[in-house]
């Protein structure tokens, strides 16, 4: 409940968050870079740490928050399911690395498919024809 | 130079293009010009600058990230006249560094103000780690050769740096070419595609000719610019260093 409030407070008005089942939350941040989402994740993390510091020591050590970040590129033809799977994989990775971690999607797969057919054709074009 | 230190990343997208070869020989060339140079082996997990220089460092970047050392504690002088921060090979955790650790390394790199030039030799690919090191550098040197896969990956790197971080300035080094004419042709090819699809020009930093002495020097763990200073390759590096510093 309190963590939910923190998430709501620390996100921007343009962001959208919802509970994703169990102790997982999901946030969509339109028109943002991975760096933007990273700083927001850091902000939420420090708010949660502040909340933890007010709690009894038995509970305190169990309260941490991990993040998996993924970026959806407008040019990248991946499905919504694949996009969420990427974020989920990153979250899994973050949790594996310990408490309070932020993990970020590797952009390689997204980007290699992000080259348009025109760009690929231009790259493969006869190099000698280009002045 | 206006800003000190000048932080330059050497990157390529594709692996095996000669990033590390360019980094260490450029560093040695700059050092011979009187510049105080530091190379950071940013190919976390598959580092090989120490191998190319025939060194076996006692401590690496790994000791900074997972141990108690500071970045300045792992700096070692090399035979090339420049300093090196070596990284570790075959350590999986290093390749999967989380953002936070990268931020820590970046902050430490920025604290080295007594160097004139800091070269960041990045790994292959366009993982977040590579992108972050490119972002830290004020100049991104993209090494390419005549292979289509290499040109495509270099272009992808440029495009993602532009799309994700808004970078519009990239310097190109064309490696393993027959002559200047071929280098100019390859540069113009990539430059015209950049102009057409991304809307900005690239900087032509120079080229390096193919020379049988290059693989030999790598095998002997030597720096060709020092062992054969009058070779065309060494001349090429001098020109690249000139352009890098003054243009």
Q: What is each CA distance from A52 to A68, B56, B61, B205, in whole angstroms?
A: 21, 45, 33, 53
Give the residue from B224, B193, B172 showing the smallest Cα distance to B52.
B224
- Higher pLDDT pick, A79 / B71: B71
Instruction: Decide if B192 and A130 are in contact by the 8 Å CB cutoff.
Output: yes
Name which of A18-22, A58-62, A104-108, B38-42 the model is least confident about. Answer: A104-108
Query: Which residue of B92, B156, B186, B194 to mutate against A (max A Cβ within 10 Å)?
Result: B156
pTM: 0.72
Tokens of A3: 């963590």
**Residues pairing with B83 in the sheet:** B38, B77
- The complex's ipTM? 0.84
> φ and ψ at B179, to 5 degrees?
-155, -175
Residue A62 vs residues A22, A48, A100, B115: alpha-carbon distances, Å: 15, 12, 11, 44
The terminus-to-terminus CA distance of chain B in angstroms comes to 10
Question: How many CB atoms within 10 Å of residue B139?
Answer: 18
Note which residues in 93-112 of chain A have CB less than 8 A from chain B. 93-94, 97, 101-108, 111-112
Phi and psi angles of residue A85, each rounded to the nearest 5 degrees, phi first: -60, -40
Question: To which H or E segment does residue B92 belong?
Answer: helix B92-95
To which H or E segment does residue A83 belong?
helix A80-96
Q: How many angstroms separate the CA atoms of B234 and B187, rounded?
A: 20
What is the pLDDT of chain B when averaged over all its residues? 90
What is the spatial distance between Cα B76 and Cα B82, in angstroms, rounded to a whole number? Answer: 9
Per-residue model confidence as pLDDT tens digits over B173-207: 999 999 999 999 999 999 999 999 999 999 999 99
pLDDT score of A111: 45
pLDDT in tens, A19-53: 888 889 999 998 887 778 888 998 999 999 899 88
């Amino acid at each position: 409940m309190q963590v939910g409030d923190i998430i709501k407070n620390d996100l921007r008005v343009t962001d959208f968050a919802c509970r994703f089942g169990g102790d997982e939350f999901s946030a969509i941040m339109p028109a943002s870079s991975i760096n933007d989402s990273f700083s927001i994740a850091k902000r939420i993390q420090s708010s949660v740490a502040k909340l933890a510091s007010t709690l009894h020591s038995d509970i305190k050590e169990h309260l941490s928050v991990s993040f998996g970040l993924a970026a959806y590129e407008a040019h990248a033809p991946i499905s919504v399911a694949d996009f969420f799977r990427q974020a989920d994989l990153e979250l899994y990775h973050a949790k594996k690395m310990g408490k309070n971690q932020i993990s970020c999607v590797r952009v390689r797969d997204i980007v290699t498919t992000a080259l348009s057919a025109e760009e690929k054709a231009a790259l493969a074009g006869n190099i000698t024809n280009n002045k | 130079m206006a800003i000190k230190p000048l932080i330059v990343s050497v990157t390529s997208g594709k692996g095996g293009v000669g990033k590390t070869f360019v980094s260490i020989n450029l560093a040695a060339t700059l050092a011979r010009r009187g510049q105080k140079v530091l190379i950071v082996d940013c190919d976390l997990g598959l580092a090989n600058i120490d191998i190319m220089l025939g060194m076996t460092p006692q401590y690496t970047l790994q000791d900074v990230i997972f141990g108690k050392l500071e970045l300045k504690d792992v700096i070692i002088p090399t035979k090339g006249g420049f300093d090196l921060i070596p990284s570790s090979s075959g350590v999986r955790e290093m390749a999967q560094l989380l953002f936070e650790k990268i931020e820590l390394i970046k902050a430490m790199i920025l604290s080295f103000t007594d160097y004139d030039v800091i070269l960041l030799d990045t790994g292959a690919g366009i993982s977040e780690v590579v992108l972050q090191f490119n972002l830290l550098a004020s100049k991104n040197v993209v090494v390419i050769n005549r292979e289509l896969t290499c040109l495509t990956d270099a272009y992808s790197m440029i495009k993602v740096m532009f799309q994700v971080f808004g970078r519009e300035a990239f310097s190109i080094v064309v490696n393993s070419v027959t002559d200047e004419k071929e280098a100019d042709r390859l540069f113009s090819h990539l430059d015209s595609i950049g102009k057409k699809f991304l809307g900005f020009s690239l900087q032509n930093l120079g080229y390096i000719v193919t020379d049988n002495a290059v693989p030999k020097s790598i095998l002997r763990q030597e720096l060709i610019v020092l062992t054969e200073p009058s070779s065309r390759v060494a001349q090429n590096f001098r020109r690249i260093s000139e352009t890098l510093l003054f243009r």
